Structure 1
């Protein structure tokens, strides 16, 4: 087996998750193009994330580091095996773990845990004959990937998303991760600019734009007349800004008594959001339906009239790509990489974050103008097909991997 024919490994903190279907799509697309991919995850996901047969199948085939580390014999074998195989690499990786630890004893302990996890993963990758390790989400799992690379000699790369990594780049040593990576796949120009801000200019040539993407054909539902059905899809967490959307709904129902919002997703904020909904008298206008599979989300988009995403911080939301692929107009906040996907007034409307009045006004504009909403949906589909098709983006990522293998 040549190095180019050998499998690559994908690593993230939890896989597969209902909120991170973009990783699963990328893996599927790479496999469809002939690339062998071993999926690895630090932790097992909760049962609530295994919402479809695709997720269940991926979960069964994924290597879980912490699960493997619970058995003393494999754990000791991985750590001492790494020491005996190459004492110098072992020492360098251990020094790297200590050197990149944020201040404080607790953070140092976490880094040492990451080092042990890296030893377990390195043993698994050697067993599978992996030639390259790619990580998604540049926080703790990327720390494990960096240490695994140092420990094993297997090169690594990572996909940089944001926005939370950009709130604490020093804590997560984004500069060191970029410096040591073969390359970095940045999901947007905004993302790449942030990576440039936190890294040495000599490493900027490693930063490549590789979008997350969707399969446009999955969203080829029949076009429906413009009605009053709104859809939100995402984690029920403060960063998604859903309280702002509920406040906008209070204004909308005064003029559009038939308007209805379906909320797909779950998370720590659900109870508070449902309480806000009840207190505002919106119980008949808002439905919380929990996590749904990719197929169920596609069906929900087909039945909806627009998607609304009032986030305070984002990378480039995949759910916006999904809605646009389904030919649905979108209303979103004008932040980070969103304007690279949604062209204001062409494929959707962009509003300032945290402004329920502006959000309600934008939604009302589309509700009042079905022809414009339909035109935006068509323009959105064209944008996704041109720049956010997962097969095209995966092919660009695979080309980078093959270039490094050569």
Structure 2
């Protein structure tokens, strides 16, 4: 098998209007296209009208395919809890029939009645789940892949994120080299299912966006295969240093503290109102601006109103990527209070723009910056430390400038540009091709040895 890569399939669960995975897939696809690789992106769902990533991909000449929107209702995950309740309720109607069956089973197999009863109920619920929890969207996605693979088969399949692990199983069934890319820190509160772990082992090669993510993946594996670390990347946006007065100006004549984040619990944004209240008590002209959306947005807005913070804390919702960068370019301080991170793209963008950062020391973040040199690293879930770090930067313009300068140097010296990500990814693709070729050679050799040891009359001709 040749190591030349002509066509790559990039599989992703969804392209959201704003999202880190969607941004990275778009950057990788565009960069591979510049290297004359025929890139096909498949997303189970395409969300939002005039999706910025879809426009960028198509503008770069990348093929983009997605399941029709009318089929999104076939995905059982949004209604998983309700469907699980339905399974339990329906199983209750079978209890009168299961009682004598369980009694006979207990006598025949000489085990306790409770064990036989649990087994009978489990089998009934399993059969109900096979129908009620069936992922119809997964079937539609597989059909979409099969249709295009029949016309233009890929050399390598690249699957991003655990939500799209079924893509690994599809590629494995078709015999394609498949690379799985873990894009976030595995959540111990939501462990992978048995099926997901089985799909993980079907991948030819594994990638992680940071060493921290790779170390959390390791316990899930039954072998010692390598996990290739390919960090997230951002295009070089250029940068500018602090202005002479120390602040970039935003109407309040004080420091501008920016947070770019999804508004969910694992991002630590629930601490923003209290952090802002304490900071404003000492530095009342400070402005906090939060860009992003998520399930906690309404709660955060109501909490800020209850604390009387007024317009000192603004929530802008999701912003197009270029507008988010413009906001970050005007920031004096980038604040990321995350409780869990794989490799935060917002932090890399702040590095590229030479912004001073207050970030939590979680996941892959310490691999990006060094405490006191290129950022202030703080422990998660500690409001007092967050407040102290922000106030320290507000009071010290020289420190802000020094941290921003060294953050920019770390960006320039690290593999955080799209071309570096593409080169590292192509190296892993070639490894996957070599692994498949080696497996095929071993299989042929095993068949040859088997034939050689058979009696003459039993050999194949």
**TM-score, with length taken from structure 1:** 0.83
Q: Which residue of 2 aligns with 1:267?
A: 294
Which structure: larger Rg? 2
Cα deviation, 1:161-192, whole Å, max 9, x if unaligned, reads: 22245543441645323321111111111111
What is the CA-CA distance between 1:155 and the residue it aligns to? Answer: 2.2
Q: Which residue of 1 aligns with 2:430?
A: 402
Cα deviation, 1:24-47, whole Å, max 9, x if unaligned, reads: 222222222332211110012123
Residues 1:44 and 1:221: Cα distance change in structure 2 (over 3 Å)? same
More off after superposition, 242-251 vs 165-174? 165-174
**Local SS of the residue matching 1:246:** helix
More off after superposition, 118-127 vs 51-60? 51-60
Contact 1:51–1:291 under 8 Å retained in 2: no
> d(CA) in 2 for partners of 1:250 and 1:55?
42
Asked whether 1:224 is paired with 2:246, we answer no
> d(CA) in 1 for partners of 2:126 and 2:358?
41
Contact 2:15–2:47 under 8 Å retained in 1: yes
Structure 1: unaligned runs, 5 residues or longer? 71-101
Q: Which residue of 1 aligns with 2:341?
A: 314
Residues 1:315 and 1:200: Cα distance change in structure 2 (over 3 Å)? same
Q: 1:300 aligns with which of 327, 338, 351?
A: 327
> d(CA) in 1 for partners of 2:373 and 2:232?
21
Asked whether 1:392 is paired with 2:420, we answer yes
Q: Which residue of 1 aligns with 2:199?
A: 177
Contact 1:241–1:312 under 8 Å retained in 2: yes
Contact 1:315–1:337 under 8 Å retained in 2: yes
Contact 1:138–1:165 under 8 Å retained in 2: no
> d(CA) in 2 for partners of 1:172 and 1:46?
32
> d(CA) in 2 for partners of 1:349 and 1:149?
43
Residues 1:242 and 1:107: Cα distance change in structure 2 (over 3 Å)? farther
> d(CA) in 1 for partners of 2:53 and 2:243?
26
> d(CA) in 2 for partners of 1:68 and 1:276?
37
Output the aligned Cα RMSD: 2.8
Q: Which residue of 2 aligns with 1:246?
A: 273
What is the CA-CA distance between 1:311 and the residue it aligns to? Answer: 1.1
Q: 2:153 aligns with which of 129, 135, 146?
A: 129
Residues 1:47 and 1:271: Cα distance change in structure 2 (over 3 Å)? farther
Residues 1:162 and 1:3: Cα distance change in structure 2 (over 3 Å)? same
> d(CA) in 2 for partners of 1:38 and 1:51?
14
**TM-score, with length taken from structure 2:** 0.73
Asked whether 1:337 is paired with 2:364, we answer yes
Structure 2: unaligned runs, 5 residues or longer? 73-124, 248-254, 435-461
More off after superposition, 125-134 vs 300-309? 125-134
**Local SS of the residue matching 2:19:** helix
Cα deviation, 1:200-233, whole Å, max 9, x if unaligned, reads: 133x22x1011111112x1434643432001011
Residues 1:9 and 1:16: Cα distance change in structure 2 (over 3 Å)? farther
Q: Which residue of 2 aligns with 1:348?
A: 375
Q: 2:235 aligns with which of 205, 215, 240?
A: 215
